[in-house]
Structure 1
């Protein structure tokens, strides 16, 4: 499988983390977990076989997803089938997807939603034009064009959201209450802000982002075991392992053995 990643240009760089394009996919397993990141993603599948989205890891119950879909912010892995063709997508920054879709982020959290339910006929038009374009760079440029057209308000996230998101990325953060103190937002206002803009509660978002930070160190091999747990503020190694299994669906060792290179996907063999 080949992947190409593209960084967005201004002004979309305030809202989009990266664009990605992949070719035909030869998977190692019939299913994969897509690990939660705390943000939303737009995925446009360009092949003829529909994407299978499973209701859980240990079930055969699945639905055929449409060619273009919005994946809401999640607190658990998304389980998908792996019979895929060419795919292109947008990985938004936390809170970055909200201006493009006109619905509160918590309305699509933990879900995959057909893009035509949000964008109408223009979703079908976008997919058709992407299928007619073979160059990865041209596909990304086309996506950029559509996103700029769909913006519903100013580019920059509000100062309260920016300050809160920055606080949750700090490794020495000890509680959500500390974010309230730093930003001056009441617990009720912080909760409402995150549900509307990010899709997750502040506490759940913090759990996911801390997990992703630990995952980066695990991938690099720079830290292991108790040192990794301590570096990322877990009470102890047992706490880290419980959180990791809850958010990744496996132990760290199982994750390392089954991760799919250059993605946040993990092969599911069982």
Structure 2
């Protein structure tokens, strides 16, 4: 896998890109990472058993609250853009709430410019050319606004303190709770309380990744009510208790880890 950082102008909105070519079949368990993605498959798309479907050659992956396996037949060549939790809607012109817990075909949102970008990526032949094609289009779509900045600040607060109340987040955003929940859901793709569950899970994964095995300590630092709440919610997000996950694979938090 090759990881590529976006150019400076895009770094407030795009976390990173990754490219993967593989001739080996595989099946991997994935978890809610809290970040939407745009995916281009230049060969065989991945199969998602939980959704009983293949990804489209051009897929937009939304916020999810469940674990899923991804399966490749070994004929893989994919390019993925990973966005911050609240930014993908600005680029595609469709609120992420429209594809909550879904992976949709990018063609379904009927964005002709983005369709043209996909066509050029599929026709590209050299190295990092697909990333350059995508970035040139993304740069034309930057349109930051007050609500985007409000939600960006909220995401930062949630990552620091996942137990923070929605009322406090709404007050800091200078919005009523009802307005705040609406704006948050439109930009992030799920409501604040549900997204906080993803953040708590990812923060717990980070502590496990860093070697912590003190579940009471993890529960406290990640905003769970107690150790039982932590283990129950953790299993709902990935199908494993913390101990069984460690036996299954090395814990890794995408949301709290910079891959480059």
TM superposition score category, shorter chain reference? 0.7 to 0.9
Deviations 1:212-264 (A, max 9, x none): 11111111214432222222121221111111111112222332333479896
More moved, 167-176 vs 84-93: 167-176
Instruction: Report the counterpart of residue 246 of structure 1 in structure 2.
Output: 236
More moved, 187-196 vs 19-28: 19-28
Structure 1's consecutive aligned runs of 4 or more residues displaced over 4 angstroms after TM superposition are 119-125, 260-264
Indicate which of 3, 6, 9 corresponds to 1:5. 3
Q: How do residues 81-96 of structure 1 correspond to structure 2 at under 5 angstroms?
A: 81-83=71-73, 84-96=75-87
The answer as to 2:38 corresponding to 1:46 is no
CA displacement at 1:123 relative to structure 2: 5.0
Structure 2: runs of 5+ lacking an equivalent: 255-260
CA displacement at 1:41 relative to structure 2: 0.5
CA displacement at 1:137 relative to structure 2: 2.8
Deviations 1:25-70 (A, max 9, x none): 53553xx3321122210111111x33223345xxxxx223321100
The answer as to 2:30 corresponding to 1:34 is yes
Indicate which of 21, 27, 37 corresponds to 2:19. 21
Instruction: Report the counterpart of residue 257 of structure 2 in structure 1.
Output: none
CA displacement at 1:72 relative to structure 2: 0.7
Residue 64 of structure 2: SS of its match in structure 1?
coil
Q: Distance in 1 between matches of 2:224 and 2:181?
A: 23
Instruction: Report the counterpart of residue 71 of structure 1 in structure 2.
Output: 61
Instruction: Report the counterpart of residue 138 of structure 1 in structure 2.
Output: 129
Indicate which of 213, 225, 232 corresponds to 1:235. 225
Structure with the bigger RCO (C-alpha within 8 Å, sep 6+) is 1
Deviations 1:87-124 (A, max 9, x none): 11011001110111111211111111111122555555
Indicate which of 92, 96, 107 corresponds to 1:116. 107
Q: Distance in 2 between matches of 1:156 and 1:86?
A: 38
Q: How do residues 174-185 of structure 1 correspond to structure 2 at under 5 angstroms?
A: 174-185=164-175
Aligned residue pairs total 253
Instruction: Report the counterpart of residue 59 of structure 1 in structure 2.
Output: none
Higher helix proportion (structure 1 or 2): 2
The answer as to 2:98 corresponding to 1:107 is yes
CA displacement at 1:165 relative to structure 2: 1.6
Per the normalisation by structure 1, the TM-score is 0.82
Instruction: Report the counterpart of residue 209 of structure 1 in structure 2.
Output: 199
The answer to whether the Cα contact below 8 Å between 2:148 and 2:187 also exists between their aligned partners in 1 is: no
The answer to whether the Cα contact below 8 Å between 1:167 and 1:173 also exists between their aligned partners in 2 is: no
Residue 223 of structure 2: SS of its match in structure 1?
coil
Q: Distance in 2 between matches of 1:261 and 1:182?
A: 33
Per the normalisation by structure 2, the TM-score is 0.85
RMSD of the alignment, in Å? 2.6
CA displacement at 1:135 relative to structure 2: 4.5
Residue 158 of structure 1: SS of its match in structure 2?
helix
